[in-house]
Amino acid sequence: MALQPISIDELRRRNETSQQKRAAEKASNDTTKKG
């Protein structure tokens, strides 16, 4: 099985979703500390 090359669009999409997850986690952590 040959590995399929990842398109730049796919890399961008993964990068964006990971950044959004990190931002969401940080926001939930901040609200937990305040509470």
Q: Is the pTM of this model over 0.85?
A: no
Instruction: Determine the pLDDT at residue 1.
Output: 63
The string of pLDDT tens digits covering residues 1-35 is 677 788 999 999 999 999 999 999 999 988 887 76
Q: Where are the alpha helices (DSSP H) in 1-35?
A: 8-34
Q: In this structure, what token pair is assigned to residue 7?
A: 């398109």
The pLDDT score that the predictor gives to residue 35 is: 60
pLDDT at 22: 96
